[in-house]
């Protein structure tokens, strides 16, 4: 294998695929990035068995020569060193040559590097995913849906299924659900042209979706998604992103979402967020994060928290709309702030069915999103 390649294009591809490299792998070959060179271009691949990412660099793009291939071939290079060294090379062109025993020589400007390569035949073969379970989602929408649900996944490996986001598609409606048993986030979107496609209980690890989100461009370019029995493939321009589907049955969360409420409040999202953020400063010191909300006779609400060492904080907030019964409730302010950070609506409806029932949060200009936080039982 012998090529000359533009450094910035090679570096961009390396950054994409390196997101699939695990620092804790027990299989040495998975600590590397595989390069396959043909007369069509260069393909980079990385995998940690849960996710695999492949990036293709064509010979030419927009009438600009990117790669000059003198001799095709393959090699696996240790990712930790390869990722860092390519970024720091002095010249805009990089020459690479693989000789006997996969010894790899890299040169750029006056810099010359020798790396010990690995046999590409030992690298795992990527899954062959085909099927009619294919949908196309605008990149911006996909990123938003991940951001608006991924924060609610569980971080406890004792229940692996809850460390992922549940995907369901039926009647053209794609729905994401995430819960850690203390809170829940759902986000739906209507997709045209998916009448023939239907799937359920597709659960993808939250950390996987987080890595995918970093690769998805901010433009409205479509991301093609192929769903198979135990794998999902995301196709983004010249990048293929494979993800394993988590094993197990996701719990039915539909039963915990109330359809009628005893109390409804409409509040200014920014003012509520700032108020709870101030109260959080004290509640954080108690290691409880507990903040209290109660309705007042004048139609407003009171936000308060206390610390046995630091004191108390209390403030009143105006309410845009108030329906139903008076209420006093305690909740985890960190969970509430996580929701308020991703709500883009200027106004937010908070609904309650009772003191120890779930707290429902719905952005006023977004009927597709619902958030739930379980309240705390407190002694005062």
pLDDT of residue 185: 98
pLDDT one-digit tens code per residue, 219-252: 789 999 999 989 999 999 899 999 999 999 999 9
Q: Sorting pLDDT into bands at 50, 70 and 90, what band is 380?
A: very low
Provide, rounded to the nearest whole percent, the portion of the chain with pLDDT above 90: 82
Rounded to whole angstroms, how far apart are CA atoms 89 and 10?
Answer: 12
pLDDT exceeds 80 at position 378: no
User: Average pLDDT of 302-316?
Assistant: 91
Mean pLDDT taken over the chain: 94
Contact 344, 366 (CB under 8 A): yes
Report the interhelical angle of 139-150 vs 206-215 (nearest 10°). 150
Q: Sorting pLDDT into bands at 50, 70 and 90, what band is 36?
A: very high
pLDDT of residue 181: 94
- Give 108's strand partners: 111
Rounded to whole angstroms, how far apart are CA atoms 246 and 126?
Answer: 18
Name the residue with tokens 């019964």.
325
pLDDT of residue 299: 87
SS3 of 273, please? helix
Rounded to whole angstroms, how far apart are CA atoms 286 and 258?
Answer: 31
pLDDT one-digit tens code per residue, 329-374: 999 999 999 999 999 999 999 999 888 889 999 999 988 999 999 9
pLDDT of residue 47: 96
pLDDT of residue 246: 97
How many angstroms separate the most distant Cα atoms in the chain? Answer: 83
Contacts of 293 (CB under 8 A, 6+ apart): 301, 302, 303, 327, 328, 329, 330, 331
pLDDT of residue 218: 81
pLDDT exceeds 70 at position 307: yes
């Amino acid at each position: 294998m012998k090529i000359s390649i533009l450094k910035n294009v090679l570096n961009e591809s390396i950054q994409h695929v390196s997101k699939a490299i695990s620092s804790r792998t027990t299989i040495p070959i998975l600590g590397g990035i595989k390069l396959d060179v043909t007369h069509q271009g260069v393909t980079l691949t990385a995998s940690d068995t849960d996710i695999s990412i492949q990036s293709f660099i064509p010979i030419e793009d927009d009438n600009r020569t990117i790669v000059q291939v003198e001799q095709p071939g393959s090699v696996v290079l240790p990712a930790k060193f390869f990722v860092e060294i390519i970024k720091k090379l002095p010249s805009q062109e990089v020459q690479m040559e693989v000789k006997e025993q996969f010894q790899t020589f890299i040169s750029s400007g006056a810099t010359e590097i020798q790396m010990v390569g690995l046999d590409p035949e030992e690298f795992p073969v990527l899954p062959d995913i085909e099927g009619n379970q294919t949908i196309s989602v605008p990149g911006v929408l996909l990123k938003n849906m991940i951001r608006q649900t991924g924060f609610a996944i569980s971080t406890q490996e004792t229940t692996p299924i809850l460390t992922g986001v549940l995907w369901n598609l039926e009647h053209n409606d794609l729905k994401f659900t995430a819960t850690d048993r203390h809170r829940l986030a759902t986000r739906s979107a209507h997709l045209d042209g998916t009448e023939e496609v239907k799937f359920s209980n597709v659960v993808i690890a939250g950390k996987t979706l987080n890595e995918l989100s970093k690769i998805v461009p901010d433009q409205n370019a479509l991301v093609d998604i192929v769903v198979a029995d135990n794998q999902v493939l995301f196709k983004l321009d010249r990048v293929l992103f494979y993800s394993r589907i988590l094993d197990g049955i996701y719990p039915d969360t539909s039963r915990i979402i109330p359809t009628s409420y005893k109390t409804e409040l409409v509040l200014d999202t920014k003012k509520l967020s700032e108020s709870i953020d101030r109260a959080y400063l004290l509640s954080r010191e108690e290691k409880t994060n507990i903040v209290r909300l109660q309705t007042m006779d004048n139609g407003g609400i009171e936000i308060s928290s206390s610390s046995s060492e630091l004191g108390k904080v209390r403030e009143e907030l105006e309410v845009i709309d108030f329906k139903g019964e008076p209420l006093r409730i305690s909740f985890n302010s960190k969970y509430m702030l996580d929701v308020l950070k991703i709500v883009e609506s200027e106004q937010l409806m908070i609904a309650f069915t009772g003191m120890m029932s779930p707290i429902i949060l719905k952005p006023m200009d977004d009927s597709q999103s619902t958030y739930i936080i379980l309240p705390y039982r407190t002694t005062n």
